Structure 1
Amino acid sequence: MRFAIITHVPHGLANDSYFAYAPYVREMNIWTQFTDAVEIVAPLELVQKTAIAIDYNQKDIIFSDIKSMNLIGFKSILSSLLHTPKTAYKIFRAMRRADHIHLRCPGNIGLLGCFIQIFFPGKTKTAKYAGNWDPDAAQPLTYRIQKWILNNTFLTKNMQVLVYGEWLGSSKNIKPFFTATYRDSDKIPVEPRMLHNNIRFLFVGSLAIGKRPLYAIQLVQQLSQSGFKVSLDLFGEGREMQVLKDYCLSHELQDIVRFQGNQAEAVVRKAYQESHFVLLPSQSEGWPKVLAEAMFWGCLPVASKVSCVPSMLDHGKRGILLAMDLNQDVSEIKNILENQQQYDDKVLKSVAWSRDYTLDLFQNQIKALLRP
């Protein structure tokens, strides 16, 4: 089977191996093990391999380099429009050669792919929609167009669209799915942490406005001012890094807030295993792997009510759902910090739920999609 991947994810090439963002590549390595040949249509623009990038396992990849499409700012829009015909041709050519077409959405490259796949109704196709499929969510027009095309059984045929959560109005194209990080063999016993001495909080993700890392800092700041001995480690980098550091400096939070930057998976795993809570006050999510990963290791999730998060947390039975009101959310966390039994109960439920969604199950379901 020749497998064509259409994606906006930036790639790089080093020592004759292609690399990209590690969580994405780990997943694609599972898909590609059930194929004979792989063609990737994506931007080839990464110069340096960082701690959060890994190589594809497949070594004989056919790579079609395209330009990134950015629709923010006049120059970026103009450049994207100028390159669109060439990009569209490369996507069309890869789809024509493929036995199976795989789209990565949402994104501007995914949007082009959604239109072009219409011309191949007879080919088997999958799409991974890694964003929020909630039809009522406020999203950019390009995202809404992608969702409409993928859900439309007249325009999109022979397609299985993998989405996070179950939503009303979904057509037969739509298949509720999940993402996994750990295997069955990773299931070592974990015990809820004791809520005394230093209570550790984590934030794992991009330091971007949409992820609301400042709100995470403010939660821990308020808890500290209330007399709790707490700390916060932020794993990740982004445009808000300096803003957040300046905030911590001006509010004298250097002793309780630590910026860890991008770290390898093993380092983040150890942090999950040693921390009490993970904070994710995000504005938008698809399937937040950070929550599932933390829950796997007994690190209780504290997250905003977006996408399928309420379902993941069983509406508060497996974690804390944020109201995004600082006083109210701090009060809710305080209640847990003062009730070890309630904390233990939520942690054990979250561990049991997360450990149902392993890479072994994910691998079997991907195999069923590609080789029914």
Structure 2
Amino acid sequence: MKRKKLVIISHTEHYTDASGTICGWGPTVHEINYLADYWEEVVHVGCYYSYYPPPSSVAYTKTNITYVPIPAYGGSTLRKKIGILKKMPGIIRTVKKQLIGATEVQLRTPTAMGLFLLPLFTWFWKRDYIFWVKYAGDWEQEKPPRSNGWQRWFLQKKWIDFPVTINGFWPHQAPQCYSFENPCLTEENIATGKLIAATKKFEPPYVLTFVGRIDHVKGVDRILKALSPLPHGIIEAVHIIGDGPERALCEKLASQLPISIIFHGYLDRATVHQFLSASHFFLLPSSNEGFPKVIAEAACYGIVPVVSNVSSIKHYLHENNAYVWDINGQQTFESVLGEAVFSEKLQLEQKSKKIQELATLFTYTSYFNKLNKLIFKETFN
């Protein structure tokens, strides 16, 4: 039996494509498309942008999903950041209206509107529905942005009487905080990934792939520096998928290296998976993360990760299934990448098999089962 109405509130970017169809950030929309099978009605309240959508955006595929726009907010300047104050009353009215008839409500944080929505849900709005908060940021970050840090602090307090899902497993975790994996894979993905991984040969020249935002936090500049000393012939190609403020600078740096480094910009999910399926190593020397879904997507195809040990990444990746760079240690990312590409074939094959096991934790099926058990406290018939 289906539940009645799920309301999701997030800052997910939405756009209108050339055909007039509303589309949004792929990972979130894929997840909502899956969840829609279990509710009569799903409402997603999210930010709307008037410019053309990037290739990473996709349309909703289920007819019982309704997208409700709220104005975009935020930016790099103080003036843009505080601009949300003018938009706050309209956002509150929109959210409050959509709560009518809801049986389940999820608020996705950290986001600037969490600063006022969290107190409203906690103390001022009557909740006759199941309510939970997803905190997708780095739960361990020492110096988070003030907004993120306040929301994390708020969600750990004793006054919280609703579940909070977080990335990773932490000492002294508040009782209302549940460790959850971010879903991104279907059972079909897992089956296909196993077949592809079984044919992967860990012999040079290797194909390396990065997926994410191109800036210093994600570490594309670190990747380029680490590639420089590698001998000719050991790397076939490096695929950089994504975009960001430092793309032009990184492209200039890459042009000085004797390696085929291709910047693809944003790509749709199917194309990203094609590149992942043909890769040997997945690179992410990031200095700040929650838990990126793309690590699980790469794991599905038996790609060996070469990543930093920030936040909850270290709870899932270790010496048995990856090459993990201690960002605060003495070893450089350059030496970790070198260790990876010069490893014995058997060692790489073993890590590839182990990392595939990790992927099964990140299926939509596993996620929904966990929601039933820990958030809804019941099982669907």
TM-score after normalising by structure 2 = 0.86
1:192 CA drift (Å): 7.2
* 38-47 or 262-271: bigger deviation: 38-47
**Alignment equivalent of 1:162, drawn from 162, 165, 171:** 165
Corresponding pairs, count? 365
| Gap change, CA 1:151 and 1:33, over 3 Å in 2 | farther
Q: Secondary structure at the match of 1:76?
A: helix
Verify: 1:104 aligned to 2:114, yes or no. Answer: no
Q: Which segments of 5 or more consecutive residues in structure 1 lack a partner in the other structure? A: none
Whether contact under 8 Å (1:161, 1:173) holds in the other structure is: yes
Verify: 1:54 aligned to 2:58, yes or no. Answer: yes
Equivalent in the alignment of 2:208 = 201
In structure 1, give the amino acid aligned to 2:97.
Answer: R
1:62 CA drift (Å): 4.6
Alignment of 1:1-372 (within 5 A): 1-13=4-16, 17-59=21-63, 61-70=65-74, 72-95=76-99, 97-118=101-122, 119-120=124-125, 122=127, 123-134=129-140, 137-154=142-159, 156-157=160-161, 159-186=162-189, 187=191, 188-189=194-195, 190-191=197-198, 193-224=200-231, 228-249=234-255, 251-253=256-258, 255-313=259-317, 315-324=318-327, 328-336=332-340, 337-368=342-373, 369-370=375-376, 372=378
1:319 CA drift (Å): 0.3
Whether contact under 8 Å (2:282, 2:304) holds in the other structure is: yes
Whether contact under 8 Å (1:17, 1:56) holds in the other structure is: no
In structure 1, give the amino acid aligned to 2:211.
Answer: V
Give the root-mean-square deviation of aligned CA atoms.
Answer: 2.5
Q: Secondary structure at the match of 1:103?
A: strand
1:104 CA drift (Å): 0.9
Whether contact under 8 Å (1:6, 1:103) holds in the other structure is: yes
Q: Secondary structure at the match of 2:332?
A: helix
| Gap change, CA 1:29 and 1:41, over 3 Å in 2 | same
1:302 CA drift (Å): 0.6
Distance 2:94 2:20 in 1: 22
Q: Which segments of 5 or more consecutive residues in structure 2 lack a partner in the other structure? A: none
Query: Identity over the aligned pairs, expressed in percent?
Result: 21
| Gap change, CA 1:223 and 1:152, over 3 Å in 2 | same
1:60 CA drift (Å): 5.0
In structure 1, give the amino acid aligned to 2:249.
Answer: V
| Gap change, CA 1:78 and 1:143, over 3 Å in 2 | closer
| Gap change, CA 1:71 and 1:151, over 3 Å in 2 | farther
